[in-house]
Chains A and B, each alone.
Chain A
Amino acid sequence: MTGSDASPVRLTTSDQVTLTIDVPPGTSVVDAAAAAGYVLPGQCRKGTCGSCHATAAGQYTLGPHSPAALPEAAAAAGQVLLCCTYPTGPLDITAPYTRSRVLDGGPGRREGVVTDVVQVAAAMVWVRIALDPDDACGAGYQFDPGQFVEVEVPGDERRRAYSLVNTGNWEGVAELLVKLHPGGYFSGYLVDLLDRWPTGARLVLHGPTGAFGLRESGRRPRWFVAGGTGLAPVLSLVRRMAEWGEPHPVRLFLGVPSPADLPRLPVLAELVTTMPTLTVTTCVEHPDPTWAGLVGTPLTSLQAAAAEHTGTAPDIYVCGPPGLVDAVARLAADAGFPPVVAERVLPT
């Protein structure tokens, strides 16, 4: 939609591709982009998840949003959430993702059957979904590692976003890591599934989408920092590296609140044994007497690693609560490392 009162917006991706979008008054950049045929990475569309963050220069107002997703200081420095950015004049936006993360047309929709639900930690389940073949996509399920889907139970319009744990594949499999929230809509549904397994339950997946992903910047070390279910997209990235035999040295810093929250994931154990470039450091914030490992948050381990590091600076990927993401971003900046690749995990 264009009009004489529309604001011209230039959105430039990290690979220097510029998309030009005319944004009508009162319309967010995300909505105007969708109307123009571009689906920008984003999740909640209401300013709470932070997954559509970008930098803006020009005339705009910011709608209501969570300070956890966009702190006041960041907003003052020109950072925005595109789902609640309303242009009021010419606006230049710098996006932290490549053009390939902007979907043309719209996100996909696939249906499938739940084949496995496995409790892997005190309040976490691993879900495997076998998707039905699709006329356009065929039997496979392809996505960039680090992306997420929105899950819908057929007959219920509510959606919940979850990162994919596996990698794109030609067998049509999606794997999710879901934290069980007491009284949560979808996690409650999954608990029911666990109780009456097997069920052959069907789900709808919308997507995949999302900007979190691997950055090609040479063979610099890749350090992954994950808090809680932030492990899901990080595992996807590491699994992709293992599958493709990528040569970068890899460190995974994983933090959980208590030993009971440590996910028992066979795939992680397999990566540790089969990926010679991978080192995993696990921290528990609130140990019990059974815990003999590191105590603290993943930030603690990361700080130690950064202090010891010499040579080519690492690319740091972080997925977890906003506090962790912000702290890791500050650490990277202080150490002179490249800007982090971040995904904030927020309740939606």
Chain B
Amino acid sequence: MFCYQCEQTDRAGATPGCALSPGTCGKDETTAALQDLLIDVLKGVGQYATRARALGAGDDDATRFVMFAMFTTLTNVNFTATRFVELVEQAVAVRDRVRAAYEQAARSAGQEPEQLTGPAAFVPGAGTDEMVAAATDRGILLGLPLVGPDVIGARALNLYGLKGVCAYAHHAEVLGHTSDEVFAGVEKALDYLAGEPTDLDDLLAHALGLGQLNLQVLGLLDAAHTQTYGHPVPTSVRTTPKAGKAICVSGHDLRDLASLLEATAGTGINVYTHGEVLPAHSYPELAKHPHLVGNYGGAWQDQQTDFAAFPGAIIMTSNCIIEPQTSYRQRIFTTGPVGWPGLRHLEHGAWGPAIAAAQALPGFAEDAPEASITIGFGRNAVLGVAEDVVAAVSSGAIRHFFLIGGCDGAAPGRNYYTELAESAPADTAVLTLGCAKYRVNGLDLGTVAGLPRLLDIGQCNDTFSAVQIALALADAFSCEVNELPLSLVLSWFEQKAAAVLLTLLSLGITGIRLGPTLPAFCTPALVDVLVEKFGIAPVGDPQADLAAALG
């Protein structure tokens, strides 16, 4: 096996990457091989789908499947080999369907259908053993001896960015928000990768194109969330348990949470958010449920300790599952793209087993002492006080903004973000986005110019909101985003963060600090390009970085 798609990939050897089973995340070699195979077949879907759509025979359902299937291969999403055997079979069936539609459309248009090669014609085998055998050399390192590590790294940047795009697009799609442009963009990106591109400049240009595509997707997701659940409003969220039976919802998926809240209404079960579901409390249509009582635990990497101590059922709705410990593996459930061997998987809405578990489990015996944090500073809330913000910046009351965004993780180097926020001067404000917030949301940073100094914008899924805030402020000051008194300090872990980074770069944003380490797939030559074109810099000493930012 070989995988270097996430930040925690094995860097002990001369060549970074997880080459021994299991990888750092726990993915075994069979699952890794089947994931490689799935990606390959999905590229084949993209080859036919691109051509079919160009002839007016687009198959949105096919690309819906593609987006979901890509999502299953993100870090810490699905570890179940059996599921991937089924997904490969489904992908082959989808590819056959799209191929037939393409060929029929081509003939109807008086054209001879192209005889496509590569993933379009790849035969992955009929069973587990056959698929694993067929997956040999189909992974990300395909062609390495011919094209070298820089091209492979640039392809990886595209593929991993596309995985992030697909994950966000799936979240939007399940809430009914799609667009032809997004379907076509996903298909074209797969078609492009199927051609095994080798031109570095072209690969980088396509990666930035994915960043633009992701901006569209994030716009869809923003609309999906705000039109379904209302605009986030500043909200105080309880962070300690209340007495009673309990279910904890982790991951990112607000639709799953909403469905569970409806299913548990009146049962006496309290529902808690965990990890990236925390921002749910700020959406009026979710917060209206009185049994959505609070946020439980810390960031995703603490889940083994947090879940062991949780006396109820747990539902993982999207990425961020890590190996469940013995003490809670019977009461943790997966849904959507998530899977782990030996855990019960529930289809969306079929929450019966989780509810039965919660009712049978002890729950919290008593209320814990109350504690809370404030969240919900999405674009509507922040831009609602835009005049105050502009005035505070103009008067010098607010000197600078730091946006700490991205993922949290276990690496010790992530303390950087805490220290940066703690050390930021009192005349600065700190905005957070994504689960990186868990590095700072326990801090009391007070207020500045009558506004909280710590403003949480939301999930990583709410990146569109952050971009809109930045663009609106730039508009208010009649300047470019790069000229705003704003420093972007990103903490990356997996492929959604890669997509967000590409979006920021595609917007021309420069000077981003990225940590705790740079992606392993970014070779020194690729890093040089990113530094030269976009001024990306690795995070360093927090004090020195602060001083540099404040100039």
A interacts with B? yes
What residues of B have a CB within 8 angstroms of the CB of A170 in the complex?
353, 356-357, 359-360
Report if A311-B21 is in contact (Cβ < 8 Å); known contacts: A170-B356, A244-B344: no
Tell which of A116-124, A186-194, A216-224, A323-331 binds the partner: A216-224
Proximity bits, A101-137, B CB within 8 Å = 1, else 0: 1111000000000000000000000000000000111
Tell which of A86-94, A138-146, A278-286 binds the partner: A138-146
B114 proximal to A (CB < 8 A) = no
CA distance A172 to B359 in the complex (A): 12
Whether the pair B356, A247 counts as a contact (CB closer than 8 A) is no
CA distance A93 to B28 in the complex (A): 21
- Specify which of B82, B129, B327 is in contact with A246 (CB 8 Å cutoff): B82
A149 proximal to B (CB < 8 A) = no
Count, chain A residues at interface, CB 8 A: 34
Q: B339: nearest residue on chain A (CB-CB)?
A: A216
What residues of B have a CB within 8 angstroms of the CB of A102 in the complex?
326
> Which chain B residues numbered 315 to 351 have a C-beta less than 8 Å away from chain A?
323-327, 329-331, 341-342, 344-345
Q: B126: nearest residue on chain A (CB-CB)?
A: A311
- Specify which of B22, B127, B356 is in contact with A312 (CB 8 Å cutoff): B127
> Which chain A residues numbered 147 to 176 have a C-beta less than 8 Å away from chain B?
168, 170-172
What residues of A have a CB within 8 angstroms of the CB of B132 in the complex?
218
A248 proximal to B (CB < 8 A) = yes
Whether the pair B329, A218 counts as a contact (CB closer than 8 A) is no
A61 proximal to B (CB < 8 A) = no
CA distance A135 to B80 in the complex (A): 33
Q: A100: nearest residue on chain B (CB-CB)?
A: B326
CA distance A99 to B342 in the complex (A): 13
CA distance A172 to B327 in the complex (A): 17
Nearest CB on B from A46, distance (A)? 25
Q: A315: nearest residue on chain B (CB-CB)?
A: B128
Nearest CB on B from A97, distance (A)? 11
Proximity bits, A287-325, B CB within 8 Å = 1, else 0: 000000000000000000000000111000000000000
Nearest CB on A from B352, distance (A)? 10
A214 proximal to B (CB < 8 A) = yes
B86 proximal to A (CB < 8 A) = yes
Proximity bits, B263-292, A CB within 8 Å = 1, else 0: 000000000000000000000000000000
What residues of A have a CB within 8 angstroms of the CB of B80 in the complex?
216
Q: A313: nearest residue on chain B (CB-CB)?
A: B129
What residues of B have a CB within 8 angstroms of the CB of A135 in the complex?
362
Report if A219-B82 is in contact (Cβ < 8 Å); known contacts: A104-B327, A142-B330: yes
- Specify which of B26, B28, B342 is in contact with A144 (CB 8 Å cutoff): B342
B454 proximal to A (CB < 8 A) = no
Nearest CB on B from A245, distance (A)? 9
What residues of B have a CB within 8 angstroms of the CB of A171 in the complex?
360
What residues of A have a CB within 8 angstroms of the CB of B330 in the complex?
142-144, 168
Whether the pair B360, A219 counts as a contact (CB closer than 8 A) is no
- Specify which of B22, B128, B345, B353 is in contact with A219 (CB 8 Å cutoff): B128
Q: B84: nearest residue on chain A (CB-CB)?
A: A218
What residues of B have a CB within 8 angstroms of the CB of A216 in the complex?
80-82, 341-342
A16 proximal to B (CB < 8 A) = yes
Nearest CB on B from A310, distance (A)? 10
CA distance A142 to B326 in the complex (A): 11
Q: A134: nearest residue on chain B (CB-CB)?
A: B362
A5 proximal to B (CB < 8 A) = no
Whether the pair A244, B82 counts as a contact (CB closer than 8 A) is no
Report if A142-B331 is in contact (Cβ < 8 Å); known contacts: A102-B326, A218-B85: yes
- Specify which of A142, A218, A313 is in contact with B30 (CB 8 Å cutoff): A218
What residues of A have a CB within 8 angstroms of the CB of B84 in the complex?
218
B367 proximal to A (CB < 8 A) = no
B361 proximal to A (CB < 8 A) = yes
Whether the pair A103, B34 counts as a contact (CB closer than 8 A) is no
| Given contact pairs A135-B362, A216-B82, a sample of 10 additional A-B residue pairs in the complex whose CB atoms are under 8 Å apart | A15-B22, A99-B326, A100-B326, A139-B360, A142-B331, A171-B360, A217-B30, A218-B30, A244-B344, A313-B129
